[in-house]
Amino acid sequence: MATAAPSDHSDFTVTPVSPALGAQVVGLDVSRPLDPSTLAVLRDAFQDHHMLCFRDQRLDDDQQVAFSTQFGPLELFPEKDKTKGKIEVYNVANVSPEGEHLAQDDQRVIFQRNNGRWHTDSSYRYIPSLASIMYGVEVLPDDSEGGETGFSNMLAAYAALPDDKKVQLEPLHQVHSYADIRRLEPTMPPMTAAERDALPPVTHPVVRVHPERDYRRSLYFTANTSLEIGGMTHEDGKALHRWLVDYVNKPEFCYFHRWQPGDLVMWDNRVLLHRAIPYDYARYRRVLRRTTVAGAGPIMGPFWPEARKAAGG
């Protein structure tokens, strides 16, 4: 868990923002390539805090892509109409790339609403993403309601589960399907057959282990690609899913980031869930740009041979 003291790296500081997760980085300009020692400090801070907010940045899309690729290859976003110029840059906005404030029933705004459900990015891929990196271009005024990005720490959430829940969840999987976003948001136009074919449904264990953390366990589920856990009746799977969604809202797991222009927020999709807090879409403009660092391998569950070996079994 994070310590409260800032750490000083002569030119920049890393300061925890909550007991649950997150740190802010002040005094570093990330628009230029980072030297290896700075990158090493940031990688360690990312591993420890799970979310880093770099304050006061000035970035164009190329600079955001260049910053992001220092952490690994980037994913390409599945639907071109939700990107901005480059297929690596997802336009997280109720404003078109040309600057037009979109109508509330525009499918790109509905897609933003779906981001309001707890999730982790690219869970619909066999190899989900490692990190998402989001830049604040236009954000809500200080006196408005909503518009934060909420995060919940799944390492802490797993550790605090009652024992009977740990036993119940251990063998379970969830189906994650990009096309199922349309089941949750039925007014969105259908995907093309080619788009659907590129992203068939996948399953992931609900309890995952982390090889880079001594096989420590965390919860892994989403509420934006399906609303049920598998391996039981539909009714029971829905009820268990509802229990999990409710459980991860506990304040001791969560941090809600209130955006300032120029924030660059990078989060670990392996150990955090996140969600957009709804706001008045008609009244306020909100423009964020996201790049996504690809994951290194499939989600490992407790029954993988490596995980069993690490557990002494």
Residue numbers at the binding site for Mn ion (CB under 5 A):
121
108 binds ligand OGA (CB under 6 A): no
Judged by beta carbon distances under 5 to 8 A according to partner kind, the member of Mn ion, ligand OGA, none in contact with residue 217 is none
Judged by beta carbon distances under 5 to 8 A according to partner kind, the member of Mn ion, ligand OGA, none in contact with residue 276 is ligand OGA
Name which of 115 and 177 has its Cβ closer to ligand OGA: 115
Name which of 136 and 302 has its Cβ closer to ligand OGA: 136
Considering only residues 133 to 162 of the shown chain, the ones binding ligand OGA according to CB under 6 A are: 149
- CB of 121 vs Mn ion, minimal distance in Å: 5
Task: Calculate the CA 266 to chain-centre distance.
Answer: 9
CA 293, CA 74: separation in Å to the nearest integer? 4
- CB of 166 vs ligand OGA, minimal distance in Å: 27
Tell me, residue by residue from 65 to 104, as one string, x for binding to ligand OGA by CB under 6 A and - for no binding. ---------------------------x------------
270 binds ligand OGA (CB under 6 A): no
Considering only residues 287 to 306 of the shown chain, the ones binding ligand OGA according to CB under 6 A are: 288, 290
∠ CA 68-93-255, nearest 5°, is 70
How do beta strands 86-93 and 254-257 pair? unpaired
Residue listed under structure tokens 């628009």: 31
Judged by beta carbon distances under 5 to 8 A according to partner kind, the member of Mn ion, ligand OGA, none in contact with residue 173 is none
Tell me, residue by residue from 206 to 225, as one string, x for binding to ligand OGA by CB under 6 A and - for no binding. --------------------
Name which of 18 and 115 has its Cβ closer to ligand OGA: 115
- CB of 311 vs ligand OGA, minimal distance in Å: 32
176 binds ligand OGA (CB under 6 A): no
- CB of 150 vs ligand OGA, minimal distance in Å: 8
Name which of 116 and 230 has its Cβ closer to Mn ion: 116
Q: Which residue's Cβ lies closest to ligand OGA?
A: 276
- The DSSP line for the chain is ---SS-EE-SS-EEEE--SSS-EEEES--TTSPPPHHHHHHHHHHHHHHSEEEE-S----HHHHHHHHHTTSPBPPPS-GGGEESEEEEEEEESB-TTSPBPPTTSHHHHHHHHTTS-B-TTTTSSS--SEEEEEEEE---TTSS---EEEEEHHHHHHTS-HHHHHHHTT-EEEE-GGGHHHHSTTSPPPPHHHHHHS--EEEESEEEEGGGTTEEEE---SSS-S--SSS-HHHHHHHHHHHHHHTT-GGGEEEEPP-TT-EEEEETTTEEEEEPP--TTT---EEEEEEEPPSSPPB-TTSHHHHHHTT-
- CB of 304 vs Mn ion, minimal distance in Å: 26
Q: Taking a C-beta distance cutoff of 8 angstroms, is the pair 214, 310 a contact?
A: yes
Answer for which of 45, 102, 254, 276 binds ligand OGA (CB under 6 A) is 276
Name which of 82 and 210 has its Cβ closer to ligand OGA: 82
Applying CB under 6 A, which residues contact ligand OGA? Answer: 92, 115, 121, 132, 149, 274, 276, 288, 290
